[in-house]
Structure 1
């Protein structure tokens, strides 16, 4: 099994969206994925990209990804926000997640960001245990909020 971690390119977008749908299904919300391929591609590879990603290729096929953007905290400054992090369930436990997460840490350091933030569902024990290996802090004090516009 040949594993390669690399920056995502526009041609990866259809496969990344397939994996996004797998993630949404795993998180019990498959109907919530409404982004179009065109909007997804434009947002990541258009004139002013708002997201970046790394992909994990296994034998030439993208089987995992980590998609992030830069957010600003008035308390902490610029931070990486990990929007989605996913490895195909058939390939979990083979080190792809660790390779992707380690690449994110290197990228945050390269960009001189002061941290990485993300969300994890409270029932997702495998993910929580993975993040604990990195010394992640879990904040049970804040609610997630959103409104459609």
Structure 2
């Protein structure tokens, strides 16, 4: 079975949300996903998109992976690609799909003239940490994530 990486389109959003929910369950936080399909879709394909994505599609048209990103600004580095999520469905892990998605994001960041990429990884996700280290990523233990929810 082959997989192709392409830019996400609006019709992909229901399958993308399913992948987000699968990731949340893997990360032990399924209750944290509160976004609606409508909000997700509007945020990516409405009048003022705030995110973009690549999807991995198999021969049957099933979305088996995705990399969702947006552009953030660093006062130290300038514009950077922020990789919000890279997800590969459980039955397709270990087949190089995550690598293809990650490398497509690197290509996109370079094509846009961005200064680099930033993302987060859970400290217990050793396979992901090893994956990122293969690319020479610096994993910071100094910075903590802060959030406000309402």
Q: Which moved more, 1:11-20 or 1:55-64?
A: 55-64
Q: Distance in 2 between matches of 1:56 and 1:133?
A: 21
Query: Deviation of residue 129 (structure 1)?
Result: 1.0
> Can you list the C-alpha shifts for 1:97-145, whole angstroms capped at 9, x where unaligned?
1111110010001100011000000000111111111111011001100
Counterpart secondary structure, 1:67: strand
Matched, 1:19 2:19: yes
Q: Distance in 2 between matches of 1:96 and 1:143?
A: 29
For residue 123 of structure 1, what is the aligned residue in structure 2? 124
> Can you list the C-alpha shifts for 1:9-58, whole angstroms capped at 9, x where unaligned?
00000000000000000000000000000000000000010000000011
Runs of 4+ in 1 over 4 A off after TM superposition: none
Matched, 1:132 2:133: yes
- TM-score, with structure 2 as normaliser: 0.98
Q: Distance in 2 between matches of 1:120 and 1:44?
A: 23
Q: Distance in 2 between matches of 1:83 and 1:13?
A: 15
Q: CA RMSD in A?
A: 0.7
